[in-house]
Amino acid sequence: MEEGVAKKLFGTDGVRGYANEYPMTPEIALALGRAAGRVFCNKRHGDHRVVIGKDTRLSCYMFESALISGLCSMGVNTLMVGPLPTPGVAFITRAYRADAGIMISASHNQYMDNGIKFFSSEGFKLSDEMEHDIAKLVFKNDFADSLPDSDKIGKNSKVVDAYGRYIEFVKATLPRGFMLKDMKVVLDCANGATYTVAPLIFQELDAEVYVYSDKPDGLNINDKCGALHSGVVQKGVIEHRADVGIAFDGDGDRVIMVDENAQVVDGDTILAICANEMKNNNKLRNNTLVATVMSNFGLVKSMEALGIKLITSQVGDRYVIKEMLNHDSNLGGEQSGHVIFMDYNTTGDGLVSALQVLRIMMETGSKLSDLAAIVRKYPQVLVNVEVSSKPDIDSIPVLKAKIAEVEKALRGDGRVLVRYSGTERICRVMIEGKNQGEIEYMAEAIVEVVKKEIGG
């Protein structure tokens, strides 16, 4: 199978698609289980085991069963943890010294989508090379020479204490004895994987907790709730006169917060708050923060003012983590709310991120609105343009010249980003600057060039 074809199976965050349509079918899930079993079993001798978690989508049952069948057929024992946040699966994978972890989830998407993503034994998302090896085996779909004898088939078991272990892990990221007494907290669990663990964590820390979207039915995950729909938690903060609101996405690896005035505090601002506190306490490794090219220019200016080095990566938390490892940084994330504290976990963890912000609030006696003032967001314009092809931006002289012209006009107090979507024939034109009207005019000028040169 051609290398390019094999790569099409995996996107930027595992295999994802509409449930019961290619590639998210039981047949592909079965083949993925077998392929993963073969790849991971080749890494070392002895018994093998893989942790499998999921969010609350109806289709998770189908994919869970297919993956377990595929893995067990290759002689791999499987450990089910049930509905658990993605970072919880990464943690349990490390805790059980498993060969790999698998999370069944489509993150912030609605129930009709689903996905399958893999973690290494260290709890990191797989490299492109390992995903490619798995994809080639899936497309070949011939495992006859790898199947074990009948007495060597794997068995499936349930990790009965997964919730409790993850809850204790999350709480252990706080100082010993730290409590949230007298703090009013509103939670939006997105009817997803945090619906059980999140309320328990905040209740055990003695916060006054008001919980929304914690009754999943298999179809209501991320349905007008969660991190992408802040209205639920904003309304809750106002209604209960709460100190803070916290909204997770369907698999709990991202978080958006809301201050006491019901103003949204996104991932960029959470990163700035935590980077500043970590630097002040000599805990920001190499004085470096990693964010993506899509982070607001206000974060860039904030880090400049604080004397913190900012490294930018491609969009996607796996690329953030790659740069964090390359630059030995222990803090990174995305505007969307993926925040990675490498001192605690190997992937974005919405619960850990929220607790770190609450700890800073409590220790400094500050309201979230006061802390959030560290970043002054720049107005932003984002236009998606359908294109007929995706040539390198620098290979289009007229477009390259127009971008340079706009960058010069911004005089260093704003930025231009022109990039292609990773999954669609779309060119994204984003401009940030001080004046909304000015950047709208600039964006339209670039959009016209894109349409003329490569428009669909």
The 10 Å CB-count burial string (b at 16+, else e) for 259-281 is bbebbbbbbbbbbbbbbbbbbee
Beta partners for residue 381, in sequence order: 431
Query: End-to-end alpha-carbon separation of the chain, Å?
Result: 30
Q: What is the pLDDT of residue 43?
A: 61
> Tokens for 438?
């000015």
Residue 382 has pLDDT above 80, yes or no: yes
**Strands 244-248, 184-188: pairing kind:** parallel
What digits encode the pLDDT tens for the residues 17-27?
999 999 999 99
Contacts of 124 (CB under 8 A, 6+ apart): 90, 321, 346, 347
Residue 44 has pLDDT above 70, yes or no: no
DSSP state of 344: T
Residue 208 region, left (φ>0) first, then alpha (ψ -120 to 50), else beta? beta
Rounded-to-integer distance, Cα 54 and Cα 63, Å: 9
Confidence of residue 3 (pLDDT cuts 50, 70, 90): very low
Rounded-to-integer distance, Cα 456 and Cα 439, Å: 24
Residue 352: burial class (beta carbons within 10 Å; 0-12, 13-18, 19+): buried
pLDDT > 70 in the chain, percent: 97
Phi first, then psi, for residue 134 (nearest 5°) are -65, -45
3-state DSSP assignment of residue 321: helix
Phi first, then psi, for residue 292 (nearest 5°) are -105, 170
Confidence of residue 2 (pLDDT cuts 50, 70, 90): very low
pLDDT > 90 in the chain, percent: 89
Average pLDDT over every residue of 416-445:
92
What digits encode the pLDDT tens for the residues 109-160?
999 999 999 999 999 988 888 899 999 999 999 998 889 999 999 999 999 9
- All domains of the chain, ordered by start, with CATH? 3-161 (3.40.120.10), 180-263 (3.40.120.10), 266-349+360-377 (3.40.120.10), 380-454 (3.30.310.50)
Mean pLDDT (the chain) is 94
What digits encode the pLDDT tens for the residues 50-76?
999 999 999 999 999 999 999 999 999
Q: Are 257 and 244 in contact (CB under 8 A)?
A: yes
Average pLDDT over every residue of 363-387:
96
Rounded-to-integer distance, Cα 284 and Cα 377, Å: 23
Residue 341: burial class (beta carbons within 10 Å; 0-12, 13-18, 19+): buried
**Strands 49-54, 100-104: pairing kind:** parallel
Contacts of 149 (CB under 8 A, 6+ apart): none
Q: What is the pLDDT of residue 45?
A: 64
Q: What is the pLDDT of residue 11?
A: 80
Confidence of residue 1 (pLDDT cuts 50, 70, 90): very low
What digits encode the pLDDT tens for the residues 196-206?
999 999 999 99
Show which residues are catalytic.
Answer: 107
- The DSSP-derived string for 211-239 is EES----SS-TTSS-STT-THHHHHHHHH
Residue 453 has pLDDT above 90, yes or no: yes
Cα 212 to the chain's mean position, in Å? 21
Strand order in the sheet with 255-258: 208-212, 184-188, 244-248, 255-258, 264-265
Q: What is the pLDDT of residue 128?
A: 83
Cα 445 to the chain's mean position, in Å? 33
Q: What is the pLDDT of residue 126?
A: 86
Rounded-to-integer distance, Cα 72 and Cα 282, Å: 47
What digits encode the pLDDT tens for the residues 292-311?
998 999 999 999 999 999 99
